[in-house]
């Protein structure tokens, strides 16, 4: 059956719009669902001097996403934490700043860092052979939602940068007692 070209194009446009609507609806539901689980992350200071000395950076990376700690498929959609983007990562004496393209910079204060390591993948991004740098940190309570431990995944552009990033972050890590919201 041959359809006239305008009819065929109209069908494809309708199908495309329906798929786009499904994706946007799913993202909105994910953001709504996780907004009650994860507080808004702290805002980075207006001047980088407030974070102390720059230890490493900026390191080119891809911000993969943030997930609930221990459940690397539980992507957090709230507060823009689930959106993949290009980023520059800076490690300062006072914490880590992930400056993401198209999103607010993400501040991981040194006092909230719990672990730093590598993983082969998380939340829809599999790179193999421990290709992601994973920073575990506790998002402080914002008054409405309790503090929650999350894993933030970064894929550095160069393998050597992963090692430099880990070496710079590990001295900042503060061991702590797991909270009730920490997930295994």
The reported pLDDT for the residue numbered 72 is 78
Q: What is the pLDDT of residue 102?
A: 84
Q: How many CB atoms lie within 10 A of CB 42?
A: 15
Instruction: State the virtual CA torsion across 143, 108, 173, 125 in degrees, nearest 10.
Output: 110
Distance from C-alpha of 39 to C-alpha of 79, rounded to nearest angstrom: 8
- Which distant-in-sequence residues (6+ apart) come within 8 Å of 87 by Cβ? 60, 61, 62, 63, 98, 99, 100, 101, 154
At 89 the pLDDT is 93
Percent of the chain scored above 90 by pLDDT?
A: 19
For 90, list phi and psi in degrees, rounded to 5: -120, 130
Mean pLDDT, range 25-54, rounded to an integer:
73
Q: How confident is the model at residue 42 (pLDDT cuts 50, 70, 90)?
A: confident
Average pLDDT of the segment spanning 134-152: 84
pLDDT value for 183: 41
**Per-residue pLDDT, 32:** 65
> Which three-class secondary structure state does DSSP give residue 92?
strand
Q: What is the pLDDT of residue 179?
A: 46
């Amino acid at each position: 059956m041959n359809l006239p070209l305008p009819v065929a194009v109209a069908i494809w446009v309708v199908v495309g719009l329906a798929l786009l609507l499904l994706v946007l609806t799913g993202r909105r539901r994910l953001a709504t669902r996780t907004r009650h689980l994860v507080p808004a992350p702290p805002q980075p200071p207006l001047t980088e001097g407030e974070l102390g000395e720059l230890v490493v950076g900026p390191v080119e990376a891809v911000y993969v996403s943030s997930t609930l700690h221990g459940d690397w498929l539980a992507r957090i959609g709230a507060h823009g934490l689930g959106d993949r983007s290009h980023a520059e990562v800076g490690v300062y004496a006072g914490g880590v700043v992930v400056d993401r393209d198209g999103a607010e910079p993400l501040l991981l204060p040194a006092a909230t860092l719990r672990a730093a390591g590598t993983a082969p993948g998380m939340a829809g991004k599999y790179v193999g052979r421990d290709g992601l740098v994973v920073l575990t940190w506790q998002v402080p309570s914002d008054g409405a939602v309790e503090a929650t431990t999350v894993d933030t995944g970064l894929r550095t552009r160069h393998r050597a940068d992963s090692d430099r990033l880990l070496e710079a972050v590990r001295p900042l890590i503060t061991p702590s007692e797991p909270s009730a919201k920490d997930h295994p």
